[in-house]
Amino acid sequence: MSEGNSPRKPADEERASDQVIHLDSQREQRRGNPPVVEDDELETPIAPEPAAEAPSAQPKPAAVTVAPPAPVKPRRSRTRPILFALLPVALVAGGYYYVVGGQVMTTDNAYIQAQSLGVSTDVSGTVQEIDVHDNQAVKKGDVLFRLRPASFETALAGAKAQLGTVRNQVLTLQASYQQSLASIDQAQADIPYYESAFQRQQDLLKTSTASKATFDSAQHDLVAARQKVTVAKAQAQAMLAQLGGDASQPVEQNPFYLQAQSAVDDAQRNLNDSIVKAPFDGVVTNVDALQVGKYLPASQPAFSLVSSTDIWIAAEPKETELTYVRPGQEATISIDGYPGEVWHGTVGSISPASSSSFSLLPAQNTSGNWVKVVQRIPMRVTIDDPDGKPPLRGGMSAVVGIDTGHARGLPDFVTDLFKRFGQKS
């Protein structure tokens, strides 16, 4: 076989070369370069020629390179210039709000407190009746429970009887005093008679007409009459002292009568205390701890009563937060249990000492392992508008914001910088 007529390559070798060219074009596309396309790739795929076909005498056309399309210039976004323009505005606005802000001191270490007490009485007795149930709202003066009144009624009746006896005794003293005064007048009326009889016997004795015995008898009668006056006056003074120095005063003002009257009042008070009433408006709780028939000693709490009107906020902010807080400043209160509701109040008082100062074992800062801890100062905030709002219960968590009226101002280093420039100028 001659060199000019070399045999044609097999069909599978041509297909392999086509695949290599196709893979190269794909790699160029991934790199961003336009692939080199040959004429054979632009044409439709040609079925493989049979192996026995005679070779063509025409030369194979050269590969044609297709120019890539011109890249489209991306449109510049306007977001970046707007952000650069808003940045100084945001810095100025943030600085302004920082300088004029900081007037409100806010603390979440705050809880609702309500006046509460253990309902008790100062008399002992057996529970006869319970007039309330657990968690019932009561008004001031409503009956809570009653003790058996029999013993108290008996004591009251005895005290009243004793009062009547004392009244009769006072009236008897007044009458006896008047009788003593009459005895004094009678004794004084007898004295002139005995004086004249004594004078007559004395004259007769001088003339030896009367005996010595008759003279002595007349003298004794005169002395006895004068002594009767003295005794009657002493008795009258004693009765007058028992009448309080004034025999004409009313019986109700006599000391003996007042003493008996106090016993009656005490018995009446014990009877009244056997009926226990609510001292203020509130809600009773733990009523089930008291049962009918139970003996209740004096001053032992039966159950609890929590006030529904005497309510305040007990807050304990940090000592560093109380720099500009003063009593009388306005406050806003929000309760965790009622989102969206706002109460208004006033700073009522601030404790003169920290909470740890009242502990059983206060901190001793002289130890070698002392660590400084920010202290908390108790503060009381009154609620000004509880009407028309959801009910507040003791122990609920709250957030308190107090308007101190003192802005944060410029930082210290900026203020110092202005001062230095002012001094230099």
- Band of pLDDT at residue 108, cut at 50, 70 and 90: very high
Of 57-66, 324-333, 342-351, the one with minimum mean pLDDT is 57-66
In a domain, 93, yes or no: no
pLDDT of residue 241: 81
Q: In terms of Cα–Cα distance, which of 305, 272, 285 is closest to 123?
A: 272
186 and 265 together in one domain: yes
Tell me how crowded residue 321 is: count the other CB atoms within 10 A of its CB. Answer: 19
251 and 167 together in one domain: yes
Please work out, in degrees rounded to the nearest 5, the angle formed at the alpha carbon of residue 237 by the alpha carbons of 232 and 238.
100
pLDDT of residue 184: 79
Query: Is 409 a residue whose pLDDT tops 80?
Result: no
108 and 46 together in one domain: no
In a domain, 226, yes or no: yes
Mean pLDDT along residues 97-116: 86
Query: For the domain that residue 392 is a member of, what is the CATH number?
Result: 2.40.30.170
pLDDT of residue 271: 95
Count of domains for the chain? 3
pLDDT of residue 193: 80
pLDDT of residue 87: 84
167 and 226 together in one domain: yes
Query: Is 41 a residue whose pLDDT tops 50?
Result: no
63 and 109 together in one domain: no
In a domain, 243, yes or no: yes
| Strand ranges in 33-96 using DSSP code E only, listed in sequence order | none
In this predicted model, which residue has the larger pLDDT, 370 or 90? 90
262 and 155 together in one domain: yes
pLDDT of residue 221: 79
Distance of alpha carbon 335 from alpha carbon 331, whole angstroms: 13
326 and 263 together in one domain: no
In a domain, 247, yes or no: yes
Burial class (CB in 10 A: 0-12, 13-18, 19+), 103: middle
Mean model confidence pLDDT for the chain: 80
Query: Is 2 a residue whose pLDDT tops 60?
Result: no
Tens-digit pLDDT profile for residues 157-200: 999 999 999 998 888 888 888 888 887 777 787 788 878 877 77
In a domain, 85, yes or no: no
Query: Is 38 a residue whose pLDDT tops 60?
Result: no
Assessment of whether the complete model's pTM goes beyond 0.95: no
In a domain, 1, yes or no: no
Mean pLDDT along residues 252-262: 89
In a domain, 291, yes or no: no
Angle, in degrees to the nearest 10, between helices 212-242 and 150-206: 160
182 and 247 together in one domain: yes
Classified as helix, coil or strand, 234 is helix
Distance of alpha carbon 292 from alpha carbon 128, whole angstroms: 6
Domain range for 349 is 104-114+309-360+372-424
In a domain, 229, yes or no: yes
pLDDT of residue 3: 42
Of 123-132, 399-408, 411-420, the one with minimum mean pLDDT is 411-420
108 and 210 together in one domain: no
CA 384 to chain centre: 14
Tens-digit pLDDT profile for residues 292-320: 999 999 999 999 999 988 999 999 999 99
End residue of a domain, out of 237, 269, 301? 269
